[in-house]
């Protein structure tokens, strides 16, 4: 366990606990205005996520989900400043009678309402007085039922882990599957689990993060990935449950809660018992040009859902090093990790759910490159001693030379076991050249198994020389991170993002995709999901 400074007593790097406390305090001060901004706004995706929790499902003949149709209809009639819950459940009571608001299957009633709204036969209003109280009670009842379903899926996971067990060692081996066809993904995922993978990540189809709706049903036509849908989640979860029973260890499933539908993806992941979700506070801003305010509002809600569902988040700091220099800008990774930690804790996530990201991306031709990688990886490990951490393989400097690539991946695996990483993404020697073949994955898994097996508990023996190269480098990166955080506090995080502080990409707060879906909350705004999630976080139990 760590002490109150967030550093293990007698850590291997000899980090200054005063400086570590200073870094966390600055991250809090930088993040608090953004949290307050998120509290004052909602988005179309947050409101759609509320309706998904309430049980709305399905899509129209054109494939547009009923939640989109319903939110659009409410926005057209009364706007979204008061949220969708009050207008929608007021309409349920008006259209179907008071008994509908007390029904045990409110989701069916709201889905029918969405269909009527799409046909133009329903008009919405913001209720007041007794009508508002009835709508509020019905909304809370429907959303509470959705959260209880998520609670049951979390309890189901915990039972399976107790029955089948976790992998016998760390790091967990994390492998990507992505054919575009869910029915092709499934046998590949099960084969990967038999070959030693502990976590299966199904990569999303290219461009899905920019869709402002979640596709429906099982899909077979993704490009460079498979569409993330509730049915695809269900199919893959069921397949990996079969593998868990076969192998006698629980196999985890990962997908993405990012992009324009981040809150909805989080809800669907909770309902279908996914175990990890990629969920970074700034990735969508920097690499998908999604509006910063939209992203921060959506990520706060999505992380509240993840906290309730017991899902581990994976953050995306590794992506910065694909555009920025991995040595000169190493401190920006540390700053982002500290900000991600603050935003995660504020939303209710525990340390064991923080798969903070970092990567093995230093130019291998740079002298002392491996020592530098060890310093950066060990700094992350020591700053976040109770977090699993997600360690990402080399991609930027892969050249197509598969022999060199396999060697680099071996060094990456060695750095991971030397520094005690928690989640190790399997590197491929064909990375950045082509979509890996099954044989490539098999060779990559052999590399991982050899290094982790041969190294064993080498992490226990690896202690950098006091005052030596690795310690000095780690202290330098931490000091640079503190200096940058001081500047961010002075100018504001949104300004810093707009200036290209992270990943050298400039993203102003008044631009970007999805800005039109951000709405300032009115004084009477009501969101039963946020109310119940925050109540559950305060009490540590099911407040629904």
Would you please indicate which residues are annotated as catalytic (active-site) residues?
Answer: 283, 318, 390
CA separation, residue 158 to residues 165, 275, 355 (Å): 10, 11, 19
Read off φ and ψ for residue 277, nearest 5 degrees. Answer: -140, 135
Strands 199-202 and 172-177: parallel
Length of the chain: 544
Read off φ and ψ for residue 400, nearest 5 degrees. Answer: 100, -10
Closest CA to 385 of 11, 28, 24: 11
Closest CA to 423 of 335, 360, 356, 339: 356
Two tokens, residue 338: 């500290």
Closest CA to 387 of 320, 330, 317: 317
In 466-513, the DSSP E strands lie at: none
Chain CA centroid to CA 76, Å: 31
Task: Convert 314-372 into a string of H (helix), E (strand) and C (coil).
Answer: ECCHHHHHHCCCCCCCHHHHHHHHHHHHHHHHHCCCCHHHEECEEECCCCCCCCCHHHH
The helix/strand/coil state of 116 is helix
Measured between its terminal Cα atoms, the distance across the chain in Å is: 32
Closest CA to 50 of 526, 543, 537: 526
* Contact (Cβ atoms closer than 8 angstroms) between residue 108 and residue 90: no
**CA–CA distance, 357 with 175 (Å, rounded to integer):** 15
Bridge partner residues of 425 (DSSP)? 174
Query: H-helix or E-strand containing 175?
Result: strand 172-177
Q: Is 425 exposed, middle or buried (0-12, 13-18, 19+ CB in 10 A)?
A: buried
CA separation, residue 119 to residues 37, 87, 501 (Å): 35, 17, 47
What b-and-e string marks burial along 18-46, b requiring 16 or more CB atoms within 10 Å of the CB? eebeebbebbbbbbeebbebbeebbbbbb
């Amino acid at each position: 366990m760590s002490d109150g400074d967030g550093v293990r007593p007698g850590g291997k790097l000899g980090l200054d606990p005063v400086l570590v406390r200073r870094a966390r305090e600055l991250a809090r001060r930088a993040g608090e205005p953004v949290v307050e901004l998120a509290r004052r706004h909602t988005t179309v995706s947050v409101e759609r996520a509320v309706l998904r929790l309430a049980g709305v499902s399905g899509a129209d003949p054109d494939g547009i989900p009923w939640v989109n149709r319903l939110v659009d209809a409410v926005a057209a009639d009364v706007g979204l400043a008061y949220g969708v819950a009050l207008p929608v459940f007021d309409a349920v009571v008006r259209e179907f009678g008071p008994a509908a608001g007390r029904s045990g299957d409110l989701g069916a009633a709201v889905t029918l309402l969405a269909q009527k709204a799409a046909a133009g036969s329903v008009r919405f209003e913001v209720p007041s007085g007794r009508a508002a109280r009835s709508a509020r009670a019905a909304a809370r009842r429907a959303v509470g039922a959705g959260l209880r379903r998520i609670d049951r899926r979390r309890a189901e996971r915990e039972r399976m882990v107790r029955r089948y067990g976790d992998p016998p060692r760390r790091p967990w081996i994390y492998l990507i599957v992505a054919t575009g066809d869910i029915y092709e993904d499934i046998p590949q995922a099960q084969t990967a689990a038999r070959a030693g993978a502990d976590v299966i990540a199904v990569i999303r189809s290219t461009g899905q993060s920019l869709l402002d709706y979640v596709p429906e049903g099982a899909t077979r036509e993704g490009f460079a990935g498979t569409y993330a849908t509730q049915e695809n989640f269900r199919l893959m979860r069921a397949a990996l449950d079969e593998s868990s029973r076969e192998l006698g260890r629980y196999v985890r499933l990962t997908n993405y809660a990012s992009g324009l539908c981040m809150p909805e993806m989080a809800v669907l992941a909770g309902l279908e018992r996914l175990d990890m979700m990629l969920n970074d506070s700034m990735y969508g801003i920097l690499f998908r040009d999604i509006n910063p305010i939209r992203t921060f509002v959506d990520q706060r809600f999505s992380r509240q859902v993840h906290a309730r569902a017991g899902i581990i988040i994976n953050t995306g700091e590794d992506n910065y090093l694909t555009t920025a220099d991995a040595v000169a800008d190493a401190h920006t990774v540390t700053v982002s990790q500290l900000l991600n930690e603050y935003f995660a804790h504020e939303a209710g996530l525990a340390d064991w759910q923080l798969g903070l990201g970092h990567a093995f991306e230093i130019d291998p031709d740079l002298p002392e490159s491996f020592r530098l990688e060890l310093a950066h990886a060990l700094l992350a490990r020591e700053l976040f001693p109770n977090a699993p951490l997600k360690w990402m393989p080399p991609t930027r400097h892969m050249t197509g030379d598969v022999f060199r690539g396999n060697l680099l991946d071996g060094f990456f695996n060695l750095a991971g076991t030397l520094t005690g990483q928690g989640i190790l993404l399997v590197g491929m020697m064909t990375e950045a050249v082509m979509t890996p073949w099954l044989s490539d994955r098999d060779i990559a898994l052999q590399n991982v198994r050899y290094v982790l097996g041969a190294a064993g508990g080498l992490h226990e023996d690896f202690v950098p020389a006091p005052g030596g190269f690795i310690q000095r480098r780690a202290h330098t990166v931490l000091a640079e991170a503190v200096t940058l955080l001081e500047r961010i506090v002075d100018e504001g995080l949104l300004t810093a993002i707009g200036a290209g502080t992270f990943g050298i990409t400039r993203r102003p707060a008044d631009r970007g995709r999805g800005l039109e879906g951000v709405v300032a909350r009115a004084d009477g705004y009501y969101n039963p999901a946020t109310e119940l999630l925050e109540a559950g976080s305060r009490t540590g139990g099911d407040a629904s």
